[in-house]
Structure 1
Amino acid sequence: MKLKLEGIQKSFESKEVLKNITFEFEEGKIYGLLGRNGAGKTTLFNCISEDIPYDKGEMKIIEDDQERKLMADDIGYVYSTPQVPDFLTGREFLNFFIDINRSKITNLKSIDEYFDLVGIEPEDRDRLLKDYSHGMKNKVMMLVHIIFNPKILLLDEPLTSFDVVAAAQMKQLLKDISKEHILIFSTHIMELALDLCDEIILLTHGELEKIDRQGENRDMFEDMIISKLKGEDDE
Protein backbone atom coordinates (compact mmCIF):
# COMPACT_ATOMS: atom_id res chain seq x y z
CA MET A 1 0.00 0.00 0.00
CA LYS A 2 1.11 3.55 -0.74
CA LEU A 3 -0.20 7.05 -0.09
CA LYS A 4 0.48 9.18 -3.15
CA LEU A 5 0.40 12.98 -2.97
CA GLU A 6 0.60 14.79 -6.29
CA GLY A 7 1.08 18.55 -6.57
CA ILE A 8 -0.74 19.48 -3.35
CA GLN A 9 -1.03 23.26 -2.96
CA LYS A 10 -2.52 25.31 -0.15
CA SER A 11 -2.54 29.07 0.39
CA PHE A 12 -4.04 31.29 3.05
CA GLU A 13 -4.90 34.58 1.37
CA SER A 14 -1.58 35.74 -0.13
CA LYS A 15 0.61 33.29 1.81
CA GLU A 16 1.49 30.12 -0.12
CA VAL A 17 2.15 27.44 2.52
CA LEU A 18 2.20 24.25 0.45
CA LYS A 19 3.61 24.93 -3.00
CA ASN A 20 4.03 21.52 -4.60
CA ILE A 21 3.77 18.56 -2.26
CA THR A 22 4.56 15.47 -4.32
CA PHE A 23 5.54 12.33 -2.42
CA GLU A 24 4.83 8.62 -1.97
CA PHE A 25 4.56 7.12 1.53
CA GLU A 26 4.91 3.34 1.79
CA GLU A 27 3.30 0.84 4.13
CA GLY A 28 5.58 -0.58 6.81
CA LYS A 29 7.49 2.64 7.46
CA ILE A 30 7.43 5.45 10.00
CA TYR A 31 8.15 8.79 8.37
CA GLY A 32 9.59 11.60 10.47
CA LEU A 33 8.32 14.98 9.25
CA LEU A 34 10.62 17.83 10.27
CA GLY A 35 10.31 21.54 9.56
CA ARG A 36 10.64 24.99 11.05
CA ASN A 37 7.78 26.55 13.00
CA GLY A 38 5.28 27.78 10.42
CA ALA A 39 6.67 25.55 7.66
CA GLY A 40 3.24 23.99 7.12
CA LYS A 41 3.47 20.60 8.84
CA THR A 42 0.08 20.92 10.55
CA THR A 43 -1.40 22.38 7.37
CA LEU A 44 -0.20 19.33 5.46
CA PHE A 45 -1.73 17.00 8.06
CA ASN A 46 -5.00 18.95 7.97
CA CYS A 47 -5.12 18.66 4.18
CA ILE A 48 -4.42 14.91 4.21
CA SER A 49 -7.11 14.37 6.87
CA GLU A 50 -9.51 16.69 5.00
CA ASP A 51 -9.88 18.93 8.05
CA ILE A 52 -9.24 21.76 5.58
CA PRO A 53 -9.54 21.71 1.77
CA TYR A 54 -6.42 21.98 -0.36
CA ASP A 55 -6.39 24.22 -3.41
CA LYS A 56 -4.87 21.94 -6.04
CA GLY A 57 -3.49 18.43 -6.43
CA GLU A 58 -4.57 14.86 -5.79
CA MET A 59 -4.27 12.33 -2.98
CA LYS A 60 -4.56 8.62 -3.76
CA ILE A 61 -4.19 5.21 -2.19
CA ILE A 62 -2.36 2.56 -4.22
CA GLU A 63 -3.20 -1.06 -3.31
CA ASP A 64 -2.39 -4.12 -5.42
CA ASP A 65 -1.32 -1.81 -8.26
CA GLN A 66 -4.76 -0.16 -8.24
CA GLU A 67 -5.25 3.55 -7.52
CA ARG A 68 -8.25 4.99 -5.75
CA LYS A 69 -9.19 8.25 -4.08
CA LEU A 70 -8.09 8.76 -0.48
CA MET A 71 -11.11 8.40 1.83
CA ALA A 72 -11.78 9.80 5.29
CA ASP A 73 -11.82 6.31 6.85
CA ASP A 74 -8.27 5.72 5.57
CA ILE A 75 -6.90 8.40 7.92
CA GLY A 76 -6.35 8.56 11.66
CA TYR A 77 -5.09 11.84 13.12
CA VAL A 78 -3.59 12.08 16.63
CA TYR A 79 -3.51 15.80 17.43
CA SER A 80 -0.83 17.45 19.55
CA THR A 81 -3.61 18.62 21.90
CA PRO A 82 -5.86 15.65 22.74
CA GLN A 83 -9.58 16.18 22.22
CA VAL A 84 -11.60 14.05 24.62
CA PRO A 85 -15.04 14.43 26.27
CA ASP A 86 -14.16 15.39 29.84
CA PHE A 87 -17.59 14.30 31.18
CA LEU A 88 -16.96 10.62 30.35
CA THR A 89 -14.67 8.11 32.01
CA GLY A 90 -11.97 6.46 29.97
CA ARG A 91 -13.98 3.24 29.82
CA GLU A 92 -17.22 5.03 28.88
CA PHE A 93 -15.48 6.89 26.07
CA LEU A 94 -13.96 3.76 24.55
CA ASN A 95 -17.27 1.90 24.87
CA PHE A 96 -19.07 4.78 23.16
CA PHE A 97 -16.51 4.92 20.35
CA ILE A 98 -16.74 1.17 19.77
CA ASP A 99 -20.56 1.22 19.80
CA ILE A 100 -20.84 3.87 17.09
CA ASN A 101 -18.10 2.32 14.91
CA ARG A 102 -18.68 -1.38 15.57
CA SER A 103 -19.51 -2.21 11.95
CA LYS A 104 -16.13 -0.81 10.81
CA ILE A 105 -13.94 -2.40 13.51
CA THR A 106 -12.17 -5.70 12.90
CA ASN A 107 -10.50 -8.00 15.45
CA LEU A 108 -12.24 -6.27 18.33
CA LYS A 109 -10.64 -6.80 21.76
CA SER A 110 -12.00 -6.14 25.23
CA ILE A 111 -11.76 -2.65 26.68
CA ASP A 112 -9.28 -3.79 29.29
CA GLU A 113 -7.05 -5.36 26.65
CA TYR A 114 -6.91 -1.99 24.90
CA PHE A 115 -6.08 -0.22 28.17
CA ASP A 116 -3.31 -2.75 28.80
CA LEU A 117 -1.92 -2.08 25.33
CA VAL A 118 -1.03 1.54 26.16
CA GLY A 119 -0.35 1.12 29.87
CA ILE A 120 -3.40 2.83 31.39
CA GLU A 121 -3.61 1.38 34.89
CA PRO A 122 -6.78 -0.37 36.18
CA GLU A 123 -7.38 2.32 38.81
CA ASP A 124 -7.49 5.01 36.09
CA ARG A 125 -9.84 3.32 33.64
CA ASP A 126 -13.06 4.44 35.37
CA ARG A 127 -11.90 7.95 36.22
CA LEU A 128 -13.32 10.95 34.38
CA LEU A 129 -11.21 12.00 31.41
CA LYS A 130 -11.09 15.55 32.82
CA ASP A 131 -8.89 14.16 35.59
CA TYR A 132 -6.47 12.47 33.18
CA SER A 133 -3.06 14.00 32.60
CA HIS A 134 -2.19 15.33 29.14
CA GLY A 135 -0.15 12.19 28.49
CA MET A 136 -2.99 9.88 29.52
CA LYS A 137 -5.41 11.74 27.25
CA ASN A 138 -2.95 11.25 24.41
CA LYS A 139 -2.90 7.53 25.17
CA VAL A 140 -6.69 7.40 24.95
CA MET A 141 -6.66 9.17 21.59
CA MET A 142 -4.00 6.77 20.37
CA LEU A 143 -6.23 3.90 21.47
CA VAL A 144 -9.18 5.24 19.49
CA HIS A 145 -7.12 5.06 16.30
CA ILE A 146 -5.67 1.65 17.16
CA ILE A 147 -9.23 0.36 17.60
CA PHE A 148 -10.44 1.92 14.34
CA ASN A 149 -7.26 0.73 12.59
CA PRO A 150 -6.94 3.25 9.72
CA LYS A 151 -4.46 2.57 6.95
CA ILE A 152 -2.64 5.86 7.54
CA LEU A 153 -1.88 7.41 10.91
CA LEU A 154 -0.87 11.06 11.26
CA LEU A 155 0.89 11.82 14.54
CA ASP A 156 1.37 15.48 15.48
CA GLU A 157 3.87 15.67 18.36
CA PRO A 158 2.17 12.78 20.22
CA LEU A 159 5.02 11.71 22.54
CA THR A 160 6.15 15.02 24.03
CA SER A 161 3.79 14.73 27.03
CA PHE A 162 4.84 11.21 28.05
CA ASP A 163 7.28 10.29 30.79
CA VAL A 164 10.35 8.24 29.89
CA VAL A 165 8.72 4.83 30.48
CA ALA A 166 5.47 5.71 28.69
CA ALA A 167 7.37 7.20 25.75
CA ALA A 168 9.41 4.00 25.38
CA GLN A 169 6.21 1.92 25.46
CA MET A 170 4.52 4.10 22.85
CA LYS A 171 7.54 4.06 20.56
CA GLN A 172 7.52 0.26 20.60
CA LEU A 173 3.77 0.24 19.96
CA LEU A 174 4.19 2.55 16.96
CA LYS A 175 6.95 0.35 15.56
CA ASP A 176 4.69 -2.69 15.93
CA ILE A 177 1.65 -1.17 14.20
CA SER A 178 3.73 0.43 11.43
CA LYS A 179 4.27 -3.00 9.88
CA GLU A 180 0.80 -2.89 8.32
CA HIS A 181 0.25 0.87 8.20
CA ILE A 182 1.73 4.14 7.01
CA LEU A 183 2.78 6.33 9.93
CA ILE A 184 3.72 9.99 9.43
CA PHE A 185 5.20 11.48 12.55
CA SER A 186 5.61 15.25 12.99
CA THR A 187 8.02 16.38 15.69
CA HIS A 188 10.37 19.21 16.67
CA ILE A 189 12.66 16.76 18.48
CA MET A 190 15.31 15.54 16.06
CA GLU A 191 16.63 12.79 18.35
CA LEU A 192 13.14 11.31 18.59
CA ALA A 193 12.74 11.35 14.81
CA LEU A 194 16.12 9.70 14.27
CA ASP A 195 15.46 7.01 16.91
CA LEU A 196 11.91 6.15 15.87
CA CYS A 197 11.55 6.83 12.15
CA ASP A 198 12.61 4.80 9.14
CA GLU A 199 12.63 7.80 6.82
CA ILE A 200 13.25 11.49 7.46
CA ILE A 201 11.49 14.05 5.29
CA LEU A 202 11.80 17.83 5.50
CA LEU A 203 9.08 20.32 4.76
CA THR A 204 10.90 23.40 3.46
CA HIS A 205 9.93 26.10 0.99
CA GLY A 206 6.49 24.50 0.70
CA GLU A 207 7.80 21.16 -0.59
CA LEU A 208 8.81 17.77 0.83
CA GLU A 209 12.37 16.48 0.58
CA LYS A 210 13.47 12.99 1.58
CA ILE A 211 16.85 12.93 3.33
CA ASP A 212 19.07 9.94 2.56
CA ARG A 213 20.43 8.44 5.80
CA GLN A 214 22.83 6.02 4.16
CA GLY A 215 26.53 6.68 4.62
CA GLU A 216 25.99 9.45 7.20
CA ASN A 217 27.04 9.27 10.81
CA ARG A 218 24.52 10.72 13.25
CA ASP A 219 26.31 14.00 13.93
CA MET A 220 26.83 14.69 10.23
CA PHE A 221 23.22 13.80 9.49
CA GLU A 222 21.90 16.16 12.18
CA ASP A 223 24.15 18.96 10.93
CA MET A 224 22.89 18.44 7.38
CA ILE A 225 19.25 18.64 8.50
CA ILE A 226 19.86 21.80 10.52
CA SER A 227 21.69 23.37 7.59
CA LYS A 228 18.80 22.63 5.23
CA LEU A 229 16.22 23.99 7.65
CA LYS A 230 18.27 27.12 8.34
CA GLY A 231 18.43 27.66 4.59
CA GLU A 232 14.86 28.98 4.74
CA ASP A 233 16.23 32.07 6.48
CA ASP A 234 18.14 32.94 3.33
CA GLU A 235 14.99 33.46 1.30
Structure 2
Amino acid sequence: MELVLQNVEKSFGEKKVLTNLNFQFEKGKIYGLLGRNGAGKTTLFNCLGGEIQVDGGKMKLVNESKSRDLEMDDVGYVYSLPLLPEFLTGYEFVRFFIDVNVDVIEGRGNNIDALFVMMHIAQDDRHKLIKHYSHGMKNKVQMLLFLLTKPTVILLDEPLTSFDVIVASEMKQLLRDLKKDHILIFSTHILQLATDLCDELIILNHGSLTRISPEILTQPDFEEQVIELLRDESQYGSTKENADDGND
Protein backbone atom coordinates (compact mmCIF):
# COMPACT_ATOMS: atom_id res chain seq x y z
CA MET A 1 0.00 0.00 0.00
CA GLU A 2 1.23 3.46 -0.90
CA LEU A 3 -0.03 6.97 -0.30
CA VAL A 4 0.56 8.82 -3.56
CA LEU A 5 0.48 12.61 -3.80
CA GLN A 6 0.31 14.00 -7.30
CA ASN A 7 0.71 17.70 -8.08
CA VAL A 8 -0.93 18.79 -4.82
CA GLU A 9 -1.51 22.54 -4.59
CA LYS A 10 -2.74 24.71 -1.72
CA SER A 11 -2.78 28.49 -1.41
CA PHE A 12 -4.22 30.96 1.07
CA GLY A 13 -4.97 34.11 -0.85
CA GLU A 14 -1.81 35.11 -2.66
CA LYS A 15 0.40 32.86 -0.52
CA LYS A 16 1.25 29.51 -2.12
CA VAL A 17 1.91 26.96 0.62
CA LEU A 18 1.99 23.67 -1.33
CA THR A 19 3.22 23.89 -4.89
CA ASN A 20 3.06 20.99 -7.34
CA LEU A 21 3.82 18.63 -4.46
CA ASN A 22 4.60 15.01 -5.44
CA PHE A 23 5.59 12.11 -3.22
CA GLN A 24 5.00 8.43 -2.52
CA PHE A 25 4.76 7.12 1.05
CA GLU A 26 5.02 3.36 1.62
CA LYS A 27 3.33 1.23 4.24
CA GLY A 28 5.80 -0.18 6.75
CA LYS A 29 7.84 3.00 7.13
CA ILE A 30 7.93 5.96 9.49
CA TYR A 31 8.62 9.18 7.59
CA GLY A 32 10.15 12.10 9.44
CA LEU A 33 8.75 15.37 8.10
CA LEU A 34 11.09 18.31 8.67
CA GLY A 35 10.53 21.93 7.82
CA ARG A 36 10.96 25.40 9.18
CA ASN A 37 8.12 27.22 10.91
CA GLY A 38 5.64 28.31 8.27
CA ALA A 39 6.86 25.81 5.69
CA GLY A 40 3.41 24.22 5.45
CA LYS A 41 3.68 21.03 7.52
CA THR A 42 0.39 21.64 9.32
CA THR A 43 -1.29 22.61 6.05
CA LEU A 44 -0.12 19.35 4.47
CA PHE A 45 -1.43 17.35 7.44
CA ASN A 46 -4.76 19.20 7.34
CA CYS A 47 -5.11 18.44 3.62
CA LEU A 48 -4.32 14.76 4.16
CA GLY A 49 -6.73 14.58 7.08
CA GLY A 50 -9.53 16.19 5.07
CA GLU A 51 -9.79 19.23 7.32
CA ILE A 52 -9.09 21.56 4.40
CA GLN A 53 -9.48 20.98 0.68
CA VAL A 54 -6.56 21.09 -1.73
CA ASP A 55 -6.75 23.54 -4.62
CA GLY A 56 -5.50 20.97 -7.10
CA GLY A 57 -3.82 17.62 -7.50
CA LYS A 58 -4.63 14.13 -6.26
CA MET A 59 -4.13 12.17 -3.04
CA LYS A 60 -4.56 8.44 -3.57
CA LEU A 61 -4.09 5.10 -1.85
CA VAL A 62 -2.50 2.64 -4.27
CA ASN A 63 -2.36 -1.11 -3.69
CA GLU A 64 -0.80 -3.17 -6.48
CA SER A 65 -2.97 -2.45 -9.54
CA LYS A 66 -5.78 -0.73 -7.63
CA SER A 67 -6.05 2.88 -6.53
CA ARG A 68 -8.68 5.12 -4.98
CA ASP A 69 -8.93 8.62 -3.59
CA LEU A 70 -7.77 9.14 -0.01
CA GLU A 71 -10.74 9.50 2.36
CA MET A 72 -11.06 10.98 5.84
CA ASP A 73 -11.57 7.54 7.39
CA ASP A 74 -8.19 6.44 5.98
CA VAL A 75 -6.33 8.98 8.11
CA GLY A 76 -5.70 9.26 11.84
CA TYR A 77 -4.26 12.51 13.19
CA VAL A 78 -2.35 12.82 16.47
CA TYR A 79 -2.52 16.55 17.18
CA SER A 80 0.24 18.39 19.00
CA LEU A 81 -2.52 19.92 21.15
CA PRO A 82 -4.90 17.03 21.88
CA LEU A 83 -8.61 17.69 21.30
CA LEU A 84 -10.45 15.55 23.85
CA PRO A 85 -13.70 15.98 25.85
CA GLU A 86 -12.38 17.07 29.22
CA PHE A 87 -15.71 16.48 31.00
CA LEU A 88 -15.28 12.68 30.55
CA THR A 89 -12.87 10.30 32.20
CA GLY A 90 -10.35 8.57 29.97
CA TYR A 91 -12.25 5.30 30.33
CA GLU A 92 -15.61 6.94 29.54
CA PHE A 93 -14.23 8.61 26.44
CA VAL A 94 -12.70 5.42 25.06
CA ARG A 95 -15.93 3.54 25.78
CA PHE A 96 -17.92 6.26 23.97
CA PHE A 97 -15.48 6.23 21.04
CA ILE A 98 -15.89 2.46 20.69
CA ASP A 99 -19.67 2.71 20.81
CA VAL A 100 -19.91 5.33 18.04
CA ASN A 101 -17.34 3.53 15.85
CA VAL A 102 -18.53 -0.02 16.46
CA ASP A 103 -18.79 -0.85 12.74
CA VAL A 104 -15.14 0.02 12.20
CA ILE A 105 -13.69 -1.31 15.45
CA GLU A 106 -15.58 -4.61 15.53
CA GLY A 107 -14.07 -6.90 18.17
CA ARG A 108 -11.01 -4.81 18.97
CA GLY A 109 -12.78 -2.86 21.72
CA ASN A 110 -13.82 -5.79 23.87
CA ASN A 111 -11.14 -5.21 26.51
CA ILE A 112 -10.64 -1.53 27.22
CA ASP A 113 -8.41 -2.16 30.21
CA ALA A 114 -6.00 -4.13 28.03
CA LEU A 115 -5.67 -1.09 25.77
CA PHE A 116 -4.89 1.15 28.73
CA VAL A 117 -2.30 -1.35 29.92
CA MET A 118 -0.70 -1.34 26.46
CA MET A 119 -0.47 2.45 26.67
CA HIS A 120 0.93 2.28 30.22
CA ILE A 121 -1.99 4.25 31.68
CA ALA A 122 -2.45 3.35 35.35
CA GLN A 123 -5.74 2.05 36.74
CA ASP A 124 -6.42 5.22 38.77
CA ASP A 125 -5.70 7.49 35.82
CA ARG A 126 -8.21 5.69 33.60
CA HIS A 127 -11.05 6.96 35.77
CA LYS A 128 -9.86 10.55 36.20
CA LEU A 129 -11.45 13.37 34.23
CA ILE A 130 -9.46 14.13 31.10
CA LYS A 131 -9.21 17.77 32.17
CA HIS A 132 -6.83 16.58 34.91
CA TYR A 133 -4.60 14.69 32.47
CA SER A 134 -1.17 15.98 31.56
CA HIS A 135 -0.42 16.89 27.96
CA GLY A 136 1.44 13.60 27.59
CA MET A 137 -1.46 11.60 29.01
CA LYS A 138 -3.84 13.19 26.52
CA ASN A 139 -1.50 12.25 23.68
CA LYS A 140 -1.48 8.67 24.95
CA VAL A 141 -5.27 8.59 24.74
CA GLN A 142 -5.12 9.94 21.18
CA MET A 143 -2.72 7.20 20.18
CA LEU A 144 -4.83 4.56 21.90
CA LEU A 145 -7.66 5.35 19.47
CA PHE A 146 -5.51 4.22 16.55
CA LEU A 147 -5.07 0.81 18.16
CA LEU A 148 -8.84 0.56 17.74
CA THR A 149 -9.53 2.11 14.33
CA LYS A 150 -6.27 1.14 12.59
CA PRO A 151 -6.29 3.86 9.89
CA THR A 152 -4.06 3.29 6.88
CA VAL A 153 -2.29 6.64 7.33
CA ILE A 154 -1.30 8.02 10.74
CA LEU A 155 -0.15 11.64 10.99
CA LEU A 156 1.79 12.61 14.09
CA ASP A 157 2.32 16.29 14.83
CA GLU A 158 5.09 16.61 17.45
CA PRO A 159 3.48 13.86 19.59
CA LEU A 160 6.49 12.93 21.74
CA THR A 161 7.71 16.33 22.87
CA SER A 162 5.45 16.33 25.96
CA PHE A 163 6.54 12.90 27.23
CA ASP A 164 9.19 12.18 29.81
CA VAL A 165 12.15 10.01 28.79
CA ILE A 166 10.59 6.69 29.80
CA VAL A 167 7.18 7.33 28.23
CA ALA A 168 8.79 8.70 25.05
CA SER A 169 10.78 5.47 24.75
CA GLU A 170 7.60 3.43 25.17
CA MET A 171 5.79 5.47 22.54
CA LYS A 172 8.65 5.16 20.07
CA GLN A 173 8.51 1.39 20.42
CA LEU A 174 4.74 1.46 19.93
CA LEU A 175 5.17 3.43 16.70
CA ARG A 176 7.79 0.95 15.48
CA ASP A 177 5.32 -1.86 16.18
CA LEU A 178 2.50 -0.03 14.38
CA LYS A 179 4.41 0.81 11.23
CA LYS A 180 4.18 -2.64 9.65
CA ASP A 181 0.45 -2.12 9.06
CA HIS A 182 0.39 1.64 8.49
CA ILE A 183 1.93 4.62 6.74
CA LEU A 184 3.28 6.87 9.50
CA ILE A 185 4.27 10.49 8.85
CA PHE A 186 5.93 12.13 11.82
CA SER A 187 6.34 15.91 11.97
CA THR A 188 9.01 17.17 14.34
CA HIS A 189 11.50 19.98 14.91
CA ILE A 190 13.88 17.65 16.77
CA LEU A 191 16.40 16.28 14.28
CA GLN A 192 17.86 13.70 16.66
CA LEU A 193 14.40 12.27 17.34
CA ALA A 194 13.67 12.08 13.63
CA THR A 195 16.89 10.26 12.82
CA ASP A 196 16.42 7.87 15.75
CA LEU A 197 12.81 6.93 15.04
CA CYS A 198 12.19 7.38 11.32
CA ASP A 199 13.06 5.17 8.36
CA GLU A 200 13.22 8.10 5.96
CA LEU A 201 13.53 11.86 6.37
CA ILE A 202 11.84 14.32 4.06
CA ILE A 203 11.90 18.10 3.96
CA LEU A 204 9.02 20.41 3.15
CA ASN A 205 10.53 23.53 1.68
CA HIS A 206 9.33 26.02 -0.96
CA GLY A 207 6.04 24.12 -1.12
CA SER A 208 7.52 20.78 -2.20
CA LEU A 209 8.75 17.59 -0.56
CA THR A 210 12.35 16.46 -0.91
CA ARG A 211 13.75 13.15 0.28
CA ILE A 212 17.01 13.46 2.23
CA SER A 213 19.62 11.31 0.60
CA PRO A 214 20.57 8.29 2.80
CA GLU A 215 24.22 9.07 2.07
CA ILE A 216 23.88 12.38 3.92
CA LEU A 217 22.63 10.61 7.06
CA THR A 218 25.74 8.43 7.22
CA GLN A 219 28.16 11.34 7.19
CA PRO A 220 29.63 12.76 10.43
CA ASP A 221 28.30 16.25 9.68
CA PHE A 222 24.82 15.09 8.65
CA GLU A 223 23.12 17.49 11.07
CA GLU A 224 24.83 20.48 9.47
CA GLN A 225 23.93 19.21 6.01
CA VAL A 226 20.28 18.73 6.95
CA ILE A 227 20.20 22.26 8.39
CA GLU A 228 21.57 23.57 5.10
CA LEU A 229 18.85 21.64 3.27
CA LEU A 230 16.27 23.29 5.47
CA ARG A 231 17.72 26.67 4.55
CA ASP A 232 17.68 25.99 0.83
CA GLU A 233 16.98 22.53 -0.58
CA SER A 234 18.40 23.45 -3.98
CA GLN A 235 21.96 23.39 -2.61
CA TYR A 236 22.00 19.59 -2.41
CA GLY A 237 21.33 16.76 -4.79
CA SER A 238 18.29 15.09 -3.26
CA THR A 239 15.65 14.86 -5.95
CA LYS A 240 11.94 15.40 -5.55
CA GLU A 241 9.93 12.21 -5.66
CA ASN A 242 7.53 12.17 -8.60
CA ALA A 243 4.38 10.14 -8.21
CA ASP A 244 3.47 7.73 -10.99
CA ASP A 245 0.93 9.53 -13.16
CA GLY A 246 -0.47 6.17 -14.21
CA ASN A 247 -1.98 5.48 -10.79
CA ASP A 248 -5.37 7.03 -11.53
1:214 alignment partner, SS class: helix
Return 69-78 or 107-116, whichever deviates more.
107-116
* Equivalent residue runs for 1:24-173 within 5 Å: 24-109=24-109, 110-173=111-174
Flag as ranges the 4+ runs of structure 1 deviating above 4 A.
none
Q: TM-score, normalised to structure 1's length?
A: 0.96
Distance 1:162 1:187, change over 3 A: same
Measure, in 2, the Cα distance between the counterparts of 1:64 and 1:20: 24
CA 1:136–1:218: 2 relative to 1, 3 Å: farther
Q: TM-score, normalised to structure 2's length?
A: 0.91
Report the Cα distance in structure 2 between the residues aligned to 1:147 and 1:192, rounded to whole angstroms. 26
**2:216 paired with 1:187:** no
Q: Kindly provide the amino acid, as one letter, of the partner of residue 120 in structure 2.
A: G
Q: Is the 8 A contact 2:33 2:204 kept in 1?
A: yes
Q: CA deviation at 1:148?
A: 0.9
Structure-2 change in CA distance of 1:78 and 1:6 (3 Å): same
Q: Tell me, yes or no, if the aligned pair for 1:156 and 1:186 is still in contact at 8 Å.
A: yes
2: distance between equivalents of 1:107 and 1:190? 38
Distance in 2, matches of 1:146 and 1:12, equals 35
Alpha-carbon spacing, 1:215–1:206, altered in 2? closer, same or farther (3 Å):
closer
Cα distance in 2 for partners of 1:67, 1:171 equals 30
Task: Compare 150-159 and 58-67 and name the one that shifted more.
Answer: 58-67
- Distance in 2 of aligned mates of 1:189 and 1:75: 24
SS at match of 1:160: coil
For residues 52 and 21 of structure 1, what CA distance do their matches in structure 2 show? 16
Matched residues, number: 233
Unaligned 5+ runs, structure 2: 236-248
Identity across matched positions, percent: 55
Q: Distance in 2 between matches of 1:50 and 1:216?
A: 33
Matched residue, 1:204: 205
SS at match of 1:108: helix
SS at match of 1:91: helix
Shift, 1:223, TM fit: 1.4
CA contact (8 A) 2:216 2:222 kept: no
| Letter paired with 2:108 | L
